[in-house]
Amino acid sequence: MTDYSRLAKDGLWSNNMVFAQMLALCPVMAVTATATNGLGMGLATLFVLVGANLIISSIRHLISQAIRIPVYIVIIATLVTLTDMLINAFAYELYKVLGLFIALIVVNCAILGRAEAFASKNTVWTSFVDSVMMGIGLTWALVAIGGFREILGSGTLFANADLLLGERFGFLEITLIPDYPGFLILLLPPGGFIAVGFLLVLKRWIDRKVETRAQKATPAADPQEA
């Protein structure tokens, strides 16, 4: 029986694509200058990941092992093209910001790796749950990195939310530090490495605390019983 809670925990935290597997680092470094950019790229990748897992899991018994990788790439490329066209049509301002990096989702090893390691070996429903959890995990990681860089780099949060959600969501823009001069390096690609480094340390610290608390909560075995 599939442990769906385990799939959720792995996708959102324990086996997070960015903070555990260290995958998808190209968009992490390039487009997460703001939380909105991270959210847009995360949602685009989530759409492709879910679609690819569903299709590949559905036809996994029909794909020859000799040509499975080219087939996976064609499926992913088709979904990325569709995603690129949809963003261009309905969120053009965001499309101009994300630009080439939408097309580069095709070569995102996280998507191809999940198709090969999971979708090709599991049922449609299980693959769907796994892809949703992994996609949400990637999305929150990109938003966290973008938020970290935006807050320390310009003193705002979701400053360009209207690019993704429309003008009616302009209220999401928050100025956290008025008259903040800015920290330019965090808004440039090297700032991605800085943000990932600090957030990795935070995640490892939280994991260590949880592990230590779990060990203290587990009663020690009685030596006489052993």
Residue-wise pLDDT tens digits, 171-188 = 677 888 778 888 888 888
Looking at residue 166, what is its pLDDT? Answer: 64
Reported as a pLDDT band with limits 50, 70 and 90, residue 81 is very high
For residue 157, the cross-strand partners are 174
Cβ neighbours around 203 below 10 Å, total: 17
pLDDT at 1 over 90: no
Q: From CA 89, how far away is CA 83, in angstroms rounded? A: 10
What is the per-residue pLDDT across 7-54, written as a single tens digit (0 to 9) for each? Answer: 999 999 999 999 998 888 887 888 888 898 899 899 999 999 999 999
- Does residue 63 sit in helix, strand or coil? coil
Whether 215 and 169 have beta carbons less than 8 Å apart is answered as no
Q: Which two tokens stand for residue 222?
A: 């009685």
More confident residue, 63 or 189: 63
What is the per-residue pLDDT across 98-148, written as a single tens digit (0 to 9) for each? Answer: 878 888 888 888 899 999 999 999 999 999 999 999 999 999 999 999 999
pTM for the model: 0.89
Contacts with 88 (C-beta within 8 Å, 6 or more apart), sequence order: 95
Q: For all residues of the chain together, what is the average pLDDT?
A: 87
Whether 159 and 150 have beta carbons less than 8 Å apart is answered as yes
Tokens 């935290």, residue located:
13
